[in-house]
Amino acid sequence: MSSHDPSRRNFLKALGLGAAAAAAAPALAAAPALAAPAPATSATAIPKRPLGKTGVQVPILALGGMFDTINNQLLLRQALNWGVTYWDTAEYYGRGLSEEGYGRFFAKNPDRRKDVFLVTKLTPHEGLDNFPARFEKSLARLSTSYVDLFFVHGIDSMAPITPKILAWAAEMKKAGKMRLFGFSTHANMEDLIQAAVKMGGPAGGIDAIMHTYNTSVMLKPGMRAAIAAANGAGIGLVAMKTQGFGPATTPTEAEARLSAQFIGRGFTDKQARLKAVWETQGIASACSQMPSINILSANVAAARDQTSLTKAELKAVYELAHAEATGYCGGCGSICQQATGGLPVNDVMRALMYHREYDEPGLGRSTFAELPGTVRARLAAADYSKAEAACPHKLAIAKLMREAMETLA
Ligand code: SF4
């Protein structure tokens, strides 16, 4: 991949880095480490939960890899020392740069590879036939001979989970290059989880699923049923987009009340949202983007805090969940796709989410730019009235699509 690759540029830009940053990376990565923090002891360890019936226990807090892992080697070491031993990445993140950063860490610290539950993903958008070759490249970038879990990345239907891809996964497991297999999804999550359950979960080849899970979807009966079914089938569940699926409006009263409940414990609203996700025992781990030591340490503190939520805190969480059941995109993409003749409205909402909720304008723009040109051209002229009528979250879709085109195009 060239350093002129637009996705790479956007990735670096989203991280607040210029083109020179990539060139400077090796020197920075080699800088002497600061004093290491006290490692997690059994008394301060991050709690672990079983990942379905895989036999693997994972920490409830996982490190999302959508940040500059190359220039944050010290953060990776801190994460590990503090017990954040589940590391998530994807070929898509920075077109391999995120994997490369983890790889640099393992190349320099080969003895620590065994301590990490390492996950990577490949998108199926460019077809599935190239998966074997792309997977080998991922392993090379990660400086490892295996990953603990592999996800087919960001699917919104089960179409990519073909018998051929399942056979390939089984072959990779046999070869010791992949311990577990599954998919990640941020659209039509409930349907896809139920489809994996119907396949038989691990017996059908699906060991784990990573899916959007936050206060805007946690009270939906369909989501609760899907989680219960996955737990019953032994599929491990990992939450992502824990801060909301967007697009949000302005902070709500319910958000303010949630913050007020948790502020006394020293947690921000972001940590409060993680605590809300951990209330669902059927979720093994919550994957969080933690691009700074401050965010990492705050999330580690929240994860290590093993006190149950008080009644008042739970009430604040559920109030927020009720408030966000409307006004926030729930990722039920098939509804608005059908109503607009196939437009990927939920993908545009996700791009807006990166821009507005996660303060990642570069990522928002690159996600929007990934939509095929023909699709982007149709967005402006489309009629969203049927989609607005059908949207269970009552979103002003036409207005939000206009906003996306104005800010992300
Ligand atoms: S129907 Fe509404 S809530 Fe569901 S994905 Fe579409 S815009 Fe989001």
In a domain, 242, yes or no: yes
In a domain, 22, yes or no: no
In a domain, 383, yes or no: yes
User: How many helical (H) and strand (E) elements, i.e. helices and strands, does the chain have?
Assistant: 18, 10
In a domain, 14, yes or no: no
In a domain, 384, yes or no: yes
- Are residues 266 and 133 both part of a single domain? yes
pLDDT tens per residue, range 25-50? 333 333 333 333 455 665 568 999 99
- Are residues 172 and 255 both part of a single domain? yes
Whole-angstrom Cα distance, residue 201 to residue 207? 6
Indicate the residue among 266, 294, 309 that finishes a domain. Answer: 309
- Are residues 275 and 153 both part of a single domain? yes
- Are residues 285 and 191 both part of a single domain? yes
- Are residues 101 and 159 both part of a single domain? yes
Indicate the residue among 293, 309, 325 that finishes a domain. Answer: 309
Q: Atom 1, ligand 1: which residue's CA is nearest?
A: 391
Report whether residue 393 contacts ligand 1, using a CB cutoff of 6 Å.
yes
CA distances from 157 to 152, 154, 183, 201, 335 (A): 11, 9, 11, 16, 13
Angle at 324 between CA 296 and CA 350, to 5 degrees: 65
* 358 close to 247: Cβ distance less than 8 angstroms: no
Report whether residue 391 contacts ligand 1, using a CB cutoff of 6 Å.
yes
Asked if the model's pLDDT at residue 250 lies above 80, the reply is no
Indicate the top mutation candidate among 332, 343, 357, 388 to test ligand 1's pocket, ranked by most ligand atoms within 8 A of CB.
332
In a domain, 362, yes or no: yes
pLDDT tens per residue, range 331-363? 778 888 889 999 999 889 888 888 876 667 788
- CA count, 13 A, side-chain hemisphere, 257: 14
- Are residues 300 and 387 both part of a single domain? no
Ligand 1 nearest-atom number relative to CA 346: 5
- Are residues 68 and 112 both part of a single domain? yes
Q: How far is the CA of 184 from the centre of ligand 1 (A)?
A: 18
- Are residues 350 and 305 both part of a single domain? no
Task: Say how many domains are in the chain.
Answer: 2
Q: How far is the CA of 76 from the centre of ligand 1 (A)?
A: 35
- Are residues 348 and 263 both part of a single domain? no
Report whether residue 332 contacts ligand 1, using a CB cutoff of 6 Å.
yes
The pLDDT of residue 392: 81
Q: How confident is the model at residue 20 (pLDDT cuts 50, 70, 90)?
A: very low
Q: How far is the CA of 133 from the centre of ligand 1 (A)?
A: 35
Beta-strand pair 48-50/57-59: antiparallel
Report whether residue 247 contacts ligand 1, using a CB cutoff of 6 Å.
no
Indicate the top mutation candidate among 337, 394, 397 to test ligand 1's pocket, ranked by most ligand atoms within 8 A of CB.
397
Q: How far is the CA of 347 from the centre of ligand 1 (A)?
A: 10
- Are residues 158 and 195 both part of a single domain? yes
- Are residues 113 and 224 both part of a single domain? yes
Cis peptide before 247 (omega within 30 of 0): yes
Q: How far is the CA of 188 from the centre of ligand 1 (A)?
A: 10
Indicate the residue among 275, 309, 343 that finishes a domain. Answer: 309
Ligand 1 nearest-atom number relative to CA 339: 1
- Are residues 260 and 380 both part of a single domain? no
* CATH code for position 243: 3.20.20.100
Report whether residue 192 contacts ligand 1, using a CB cutoff of 6 Å.
no
Q: How confident is the model at residue 367 (pLDDT cuts 50, 70, 90)?
A: confident
Report whether residue 94 contacts ligand 1, using a CB cutoff of 6 Å.
no
Indicate the top mutation candidate among 337, 345, 399, 401 to test ligand 1's pocket, ranked by most ligand atoms within 8 A of CB.
345
Look up the domain containing 366 and give its range. Answer: 333-408
In a domain, 94, yes or no: yes
In a domain, 210, yes or no: yes
The pLDDT of residue 331: 78
pLDDT tens per residue, range 170-227? 999 999 999 999 999 988 999 999 999 999 999 999 999 999 998 878 888 999 999 9
